[in-house]
Structure 1
Amino acid sequence: MIAGDDPHTLHEWNVRTLRMPATVISSTLQDTLGWPDATIVSGDALGIVSRLKEESDVPLRSQASLSLNWALMAAGLVDRLQVTIFPVISGRTGTSPILGGAADFDLELLESRTLDGDTVELVYRPTLH
């Protein structure tokens, strides 16, 4: 999805996401690239996320780089890890495991549901192992 795309052609989830306020943590970006309600901040990502968690009245959602998400998990800043399992095996075409390189975590299952008969959503509470 590109921020400037016609909202009529986007899935409703993408439209809702696009309309939400966003904080982008970056040391290189100078522009929000068309994201309507985004703020760019730079500095210590763990400190920024910790402050945002304390100040926010709503749960935060990270759609960041994998390495940042791993660091947030290792710092205990991730309360819920949502894993969506799609009925596809990418043994030859897959490029890398999504959690390859992350620390070791124990996962407590909080929720599970089948989305469309094939796709399964699992929600866990991660605890550093």
Structure 2
Amino acid sequence: MYRTHSAIVAASPPASESYDEWVTRMMNLPATIVSSTLQGPLNWPDATIATGDAAKIIARLKQDSDVPLRSHGSLSLNRSLLKAGLVDRIQVTLFPVICGQPGADPIFQGAADFDLELLETQTFDNHTQQLTYRPTLHA
């Protein structure tokens, strides 16, 4: 989970009009937050903090869950899950801008090579695209 996103969510009271539909829907889902620094109580209705090896925690959650799991934010967590073979889908959102920001780290820097099979595309507002891929470790 994005630390900045969680700070924004936690700063607004639950009945706040500042929540958009997506945040409201996300806030009403059970959440497991993998962290070595956070402590409770959390300003999240159904949240559990899990500490320890993230890959082992997520592998157990995947095994026990009846529904697909999602990971938001935390590039380091997502990189470790990808490396452990625990990622079934990668959702990439493309925003039609050119940043040119020097010194920015590539998102998957240091990750293994994966082939990506395109599963689904969706275009929002005639500009922004959401692409869903299935990753397979490149042989």
TM-score norm. by structure 1 comes to 0.90
Aligned-residue CA RMSD in angstroms? 1.7
* Change over 3 Å in CA distance of 1:119–1:28 after alignment to 2: same
Determine the structure 1 residue equivalent to 2:62: 53
Q: Which amino acid aligns with 1:127?
A: T
Displaced runs of 4 or more, over 4 A: none
Instruction: Check the 8 A contact 1:32/1:38 in 2, yes or no.
Output: no
Deviations 1:82-120 (A, max 9, x none): 000011111137733222232211100000111110000
Comparing 28-37 and 109-118, the one that deviates more:
28-37
Distance 2:103 2:48 in 1: 33
Q: Percent identity?
A: 60
Taking the aligned partners of 1:60 and 1:14, their CA distance within structure 2 comes to 16
The whole-number CA distance in structure 1 between the counterparts of 2:31 and 2:65 is: 12
Contact 1:24 1:40 in 2 (8 A): yes
Q: Residue 17 of structure 2 aligns to a residue in which SS?
A: helix
- TM-score scaled by structure 2? 0.84
Unaligned runs of 5+ in 2: 1-7
Q: Which residue of 2 aligns with 1:120?
A: 129
For 1:13-52, what aligned pairs fall within 5 Å after superposition?
13-52=22-61
Alignment equivalent of 1:10, drawn from 16, 19, 23: 19
Which amino acid counterpart does residue 112 of structure 2 have in structure 1?
A
Label 1:111 to 1:40 Cα distance change in 2 as closer, same or farther (>3 A).
same
Aligned to 2:115: 106
Structure 1: gaps of 5 or more residues? none
Q: Deviations over 1:62-87 (max 9, x none)?
A: 11411110110111100000000011
Structure 1 residue 55: Cα displacement:
0.6
Question: Structure 2: which amino acid aligns with 1:21?
Answer: P
Aligned residues: 129
